[in-house]
Amino acid sequence: MGELCVRSVLVTGANRGLGLGLVQHLLGLPKPPQWLFATCRDPKGQRAQELQNLASKHHNLVILPLEVANPTSIKAAAAKVGEHLGGSGLNLLINNAGIVKITLLENETLEDMTEIYTTNTVGPLLMGQAFLPLLKKAAQGSPGSGLSCSKAAIVNISSIGGSIASFSAWEMIQASSYRCSKAALNMLTKCQSLAYKEHGILCLALHPGWVQTDLGSSGGHTPPVTVDASVKGMLKVLSSISEKDTGTFLDWEGKVVPW
């Protein structure tokens, strides 16, 4: 199985955790992207220091401010990406930014549910809409038929926590608002796959595993999967998926996750 080979990639929530890991591994590929856009809320802040260090060493890495819950911020980022790409499009959009609040079902609030749903579900919806022209342009400019991440793709980083069929680890972490947002994200991915297939765009929901990140550890338990292992696995999956996989829900090892 070959390495992922893609001309341009955008990763949201790229200043830490899985997002930063994806950026690091994409830069380390034998054929790294010609353009790698890493977005986060505050690119000049202390929490983005590692990302800034990478950008100083890699001319193909562009850091952009982006708040996925803010339509104005998304449109501004899309315009900037379009300027950098010139006449070419964006091949791969990875919607990685996400939040969780650990609480019992009886303590869930309107405010928390709305905030989490806006970031985890509405954000990827708005990102897909704003970057659709650039994704369509990439698909039109790619030779050959079929769908792939090298051509044009939206990858939504989901979670097995959003699987109604499996309902993993309820006894350890309820996090109902997070689970609901990811279940909705899975449906959004399916809707995107149906709506965008005619434009040559592949859409996939991807479970990264229970990973050792701030988000993954927020329930007070130590996750079994390292960022390094998760990212390597996800990039391997992205290198191999094709038209038959659009609209599906896979994990970091390429296994189908039950809806």
pTM score, whole prediction: 0.95
Segment 3-17 mean pLDDT: 95
pLDDT per residue as tens digits for the range 52-71: 999 999 999 999 999 999 99
Residue 68 belongs to a domain: yes
Is residue 223 scored above 90 in pLDDT? no
Domain with residue 68: its CATH number is 3.40.50.720
Please indicate, yes or no, if residue 1 is contained in any of the structural domains. Answer: no
Any domain includes 257: no
Q: What is the pLDDT of residues 169-210, one digit of tens each?
A: 777 778 999 999 999 999 999 999 999 999 999 999 999 998
Instruction: Answer yes or no: is 229 within a domain.
Output: yes
Does residue 256 belong to any structural domain of this protein? Answer: no
pLDDT band at 216 (very low <50, low <70, confident <90, very high): low
Question: How many domains, in total, are found in the chain?
Answer: 1
In a domain, 258, yes or no: no
248/259 Cα distance (integer angstroms): 9
101-155 tens-digit pLDDT: 989 999 999 999 999 999 999 999 999 999 999 999 999 999 878 999 999 999 9
Domain assignment present for residue 259? The answer is no
Banded pLDDT at 1 (limits 50, 70, 90): very low
Name the residue range of residue 50's domain.
8-251
**What is the average pLDDT value for the chain, to the nearest integer?**
94
Phi-psi region of 17 (alpha: psi -120 to 50; beta: other; left: phi over 0): left
